[in-house]
């Protein structure tokens, strides 16, 4: 008990000390910068709503961005058609906070979540750079987090097809969960002995949801997005900054071979973990595979690190203090400690160390 109190105190102190790191956020010209992109496409004519991928950024976006999101995500924001940008930002940020809190309560368990120590821990996690950055940009990763959470809950209830469906739906919604689905799917296939029906159901659910919601439901938009927009957009990069963590853009160029080895090692580690632990510890494998997913995208700013939050929540619940403290420092650590080169390069490697 004394050790638990001591380690909990260290975790809380670390989170408090990390709060000033939000000053390293590259503040945009206005709050809700990414939400503004979607909002403008709903307010510049029926053609933009019918197929936003043929407009090429001509819809009033403040920096001329095209529509970078898949059709399923874009059309899930149809409500933006009826509200002003200012109202949309307020509504969306409130929804993000409520949805993230609901997801946290789900991963921790409602009884555990409403204990005082957990509420303080969660309140401080909300004050860290990943969440504040999410609110500042109007980021939409919370949808992928919840779809992946529903996939985990379905797997816990032995509904493999439904679990795979939510995994495929998450990939259709936001693209990068495809990496999580690949790691988890690899684990499902490698652990298939005696579970052929479950393996087939999960795979069919995942591939079916991806096919329907990425292509069949939106045939014209899906063709434009997946075959033209996404390949062009993925060539862009986040660069080397203390607020980004893309492996492909931080370490590519002359370091493409070690970068490839790191990515394959990270994917392989969690595929192996899923194969070994999926049926005994679905929560850990679902949380871990989601946590690695955004490291493979070309643009991975640290507002995407909210996808790692289920993992420290599980470590907190299980009192795995050493791993928890490393994870908190890696994900939420004060970014002023990592501002000078080469520290922005080493910082993602610290996160990789923790995840492996």
pLDDT at position 58 is 66
- CA-CA distance, 297 to 275, in Å (whole number)? 24
DSSP for 160-215, please give it. HHHHHHHHHHHHHHHSTHHHHHHHHHHHHHHT-TT-HHHHHHHHHHHHHHHHIIII
pLDDT along the chain (356 residues), means of 10: 91 98 92 94 92 81 87 97 97 98 97 96 98 97 98 96 97 96 93 81 95 95 92 72 77 73 92 93 96 89 95 97 97 88 80 94
pLDDT at 351: 93
In the prediction, which pLDDT does 327 show?
A: 97
User: What's the distance, Cα to Cα, between the start and end of the chain in Å?
Assistant: 29
The model's pTM is 0.95
Q: From CA 325, how far away is CA 345, in angstroms rounded?
A: 21
CB atoms within 10 A of CB 319: 11
* Spatial distance between the Cα atoms of 75 and 154, rounded to a whole number of angstroms: 25
List phi, psi (to 5°) of 288. Answer: -70, -40
pLDDT of residue 250: 65
At residue 300, the pLDDT reads: 87
């Amino acid at each position: 008990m004394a050790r638990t109190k001591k380690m909990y105190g260290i975790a809380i102190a670390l989170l408090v000390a990390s709060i000033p790191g939000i000053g390293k956020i590259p503040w945009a010209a206005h709050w809700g910068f990414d939400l503004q992109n979607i909002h403008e496409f709903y307010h510049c004519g029926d053609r933009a709503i019918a197929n936003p991928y043929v407009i090429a950024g001509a819809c009033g976006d403040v920096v001329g961005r095209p529509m970078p999101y898949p059709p399923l995500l874009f059309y899930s924001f149809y409500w933006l058609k009826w509200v002003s940008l200012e109202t949309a930002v307020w509504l969306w940020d409130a929804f993000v906070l409520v949805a993230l809190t609901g997801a946290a309560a789900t991963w921790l368990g409602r009884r555990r979540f409403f204990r005082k120590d957990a509420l303080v821990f969660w309140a401080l996690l909300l004050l860290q750079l990943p969440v504040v950055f999410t609110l500042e940009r109007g980021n939409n990763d919370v949808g992928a987090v919840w779809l992946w959470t529903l996939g985990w809950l379905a797997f816990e209830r032995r509904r493999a097809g439904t679990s795979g469906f939510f995994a495929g739906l998450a990939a259709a919604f936001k693209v990068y969960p495809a990496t999580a689905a690949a790691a988890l799917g690899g684990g499902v296939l490698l652990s298939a002995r005696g579970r052929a029906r479950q393996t087939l159901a999960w795979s069919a659910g995942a591939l079916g949801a991806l096919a329907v919601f990425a292509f069949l439901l939106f045939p014209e938009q899906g063709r434009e997005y997946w075959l033209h927009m996404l390949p062009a957009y993925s060539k862009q990069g986040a660069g080397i900054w203390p607020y980004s963590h893309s492996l492909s853009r931080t370490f590519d160029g002359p370091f493409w071979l070690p970068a490839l080895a790191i990515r394959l090692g990270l994917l392989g580690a969690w595929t192996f973990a899923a194969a070994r632990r999926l049926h005994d510890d679905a929560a850990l494998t679902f949380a871990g595979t989601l946590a690695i997913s955004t490291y493979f995208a070309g643009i991975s700013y640290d507002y995407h690190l909210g996808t790692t939050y289920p993992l420290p929540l599980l470590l907190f619940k299980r009192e795995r203090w050493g791993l928890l403290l490393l994870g908190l420092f890696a994900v939420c650590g004060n970014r002023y400690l990592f501002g000078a080169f080469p520290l922005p390069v080493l910082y993602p490697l610290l996160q990789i160390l923790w995840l492996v």
